[in-house]
Copies of this chain bind each other. A is one copy, B any other.
């Protein structure tokens, strides 16, 4: 029934119309399925959040949110794997097509029409008949690159952005030693041990495929990235010793970067000879060159973007429009990642150093509102990404299709991971203690050993490539290592702390920095020794020249540059530098060595802006090079100055309240 007042159509048109409808229906169905799959993860996260709230509310500390996310992931994984069976749909069965190569794009000619197909990946021969049945499981499997390109960057950026801690800089040398030397040591120890294990397995006929020495080294690199997020959350809550916190946090942030670059240089190891798995000096050197090149390139890129953002926010008055400011900050930080990836460097590493630079320079140029906004934004992104990764980890234990669980390899891996961590912490601590006045005590060493959890980075690196037998076995083993460390080591943190008699309840708040500094006055001299001369020079340069040029804080350049550069200094110094001096004290006090140092490089200007007006300093201006004797005198002077500043700081605080 019905009047045909529309255009009448020919039979061909009808066919094509019907075909379009079928295609549209299919696309709609697939879209619906995708939405449902994503919904599973959102629901998982929601559930995790509600349970976390309950835990926090009741002050349970034995299970961190990441551990919880994994448990929920596991449960959903079991349900998906064993609970749901998709009936085989005949009309949707995939078809085979014999060609000679596997290009990235494939054109398929279907009765005169061309369809474009893109390569998704290789499927092992025994799975081909099983494709339909696993379709549903593969649906909830994300492209591994998602972790590396979408979820990891905000986590790493947030780590860098929140690294702005006074005690981080105080322990700079030790942190760098643990992160660089320690990760390399750990990587090679684990690699060698695993090679022994693999050889043994081969002898016993337990190996089902190739496993080369480079694979062992790769495994060593990926499980060397520590992620003590669980431990640090408890540290934060219990206010554990700040030095221990700084050592652990700094090490874990930087060793992620080292592990990423290390693993990619191991993959790049390609001897030129016929046999691609022999040892060759040239290839080895090339790999080492790649490591240095990629690391320094990513580092430079990250810092460069950070500096550019600082300059933009310095020269424009974006602070009047907070939305634009926040958006710019976000986009610039993201573009670091993309730029690094486009140049062939490692985006994650670039983003880390971009975050550190942004925190150090750009943060000071942002309006207070944008400072909050950016912090909160990245905090939220970090939270969501982290919990997503951990719940996906739990899920993937059951939904991943190509698990290879080999008991011998797993036991070997656990032993190797333990020994690798030990070979990192104890010998390095011994060597560092030779140079440190403020020793890393043995209970700190045990705690660091214990806190070597493996997390998001290890997982992302191991899931990135699961094409070969070796990689599949690594992935399965890595999952177990992550589960074990997060649940057992993470859950036992409180017990371990009390067992090692590490003091808790240390107040590290900024406001107390003055009183703490006075109380710890005797420790100051040791701090001086501790921080290397190289770092002191850098600090002075940064504080006197870089900060004033890149931010609105820091002393005016007119005061730090020699008088002959007067016009240039006046041009580069922002008007705020003169006005904001009151605020500057706060900004600086949380990041650097000792408060004495600030006075020392800054003595002459401090006083002219002293709000109380009672104290007039005659200390000589100090900028850059000075003999050790000078430094000592300055530090002693700083001690005296500090007490005076204590009163002034209080005065400033009162000012703010009245304001």
How far does the alpha carbon of A36 sit from the alpha carbon of B384 in the complex, in Å?
26
Choose the segment among A271-279, A566-574, A586-594, A611-619 that binds chain B (4+ C-beta atoms closer than 8 Å). A271-279
Going nearest first, the 5 A-B pairs with the smallest beta carbon separation are: A2-B280, A117-B117, A35-B341, A4-B278, A36-B342
**Residues of A participating in the B interface, judged by any CB pair closer than 8 Å:** 1-9, 13-14, 17-18, 20-21, 23-24, 26, 28, 30-32, 35-36, 38-39, 42-43, 45-46, 49-50, 52-53, 56-57, 92-125, 127-128, 131, 145, 149, 210, 212-214, 270-271, 273-283, 312, 316-318, 320-321, 323-324, 326-328, 330-332, 334-335, 338-339, 341-342, 344, 347, 373, 376-377, 379-380, 383-384, 465, 467-468
B114 and A117 contact, CB distance less than 8 A: no
How far does the alpha carbon of A182 sit from the alpha carbon of B510 in the complex, in Å?
59
How far does the alpha carbon of A97 sit from the alpha carbon of B99 in the complex, in Å?
7
Beta-carbon nearest neighbor of A26 in chain B: B104
How far does the alpha carbon of A335 sit from the alpha carbon of B47 in the complex, in Å?
13
A45 contact set on B, CB distance < 8 A: 327, 331
Beta-carbon nearest neighbor of A27 in chain B: B104
Q: Whole-angstrom distance from the CB of A390 to the nearest CB of chain B? A: 14
A122 contact set on B, CB distance < 8 A: 113-116
How far does the alpha carbon of A56 sit from the alpha carbon of B316 in the complex, in Å?
12
B276 and A18 contact, CB distance less than 8 A: yes
A17 contact set on B, CB distance < 8 A: 276
Q: Whole-angstrom distance from the CB of A260 to the nearest CB of chain B? A: 15
Known contacts being A210-B13, A341-B35, A377-B377, is A317 close to B57, with CB within 8 Å?
yes
Beta-carbon nearest neighbor of A56 in chain B: B321
**Listed A/B pairs (12) with beta-carbon separation below 8 Å:** A1-B281, A2-B273, A2-B279, A20-B468, A39-B335, A50-B328, A56-B324, A97-B99, A99-B108, A115-B119, A115-B123, A117-B117
B128 and A123 contact, CB distance less than 8 A: no
A6 and B278 contact, CB distance less than 8 A: yes
Q: Whole-angstrom distance from the CB of A1 to the nearest CB of chain B? A: 7
Known contacts being A114-B125, A118-B120, A338-B35, is A324 close to B99, with CB within 8 Å?
no
A278 contact set on B, CB distance < 8 A: 2-6, 8
Beta-carbon nearest neighbor of A42 in chain B: B335
Beta-carbon nearest neighbor of A30 in chain B: B104
A113 and B109 contact, CB distance less than 8 A: no
B116 and A39 contact, CB distance less than 8 A: no
B39 and A342 contact, CB distance less than 8 A: yes
* Inter-chain pairs besides A8-B275, A14-B276, A377-B377, 17 sampled, C-beta below 8 Å: A2-B279, A2-B280, A2-B282, A4-B279, A8-B278, A9-B275, A20-B467, A20-B468, A31-B341, A32-B344, A39-B335, A42-B338, A45-B327, A49-B328, A53-B318, A94-B105, A106-B106
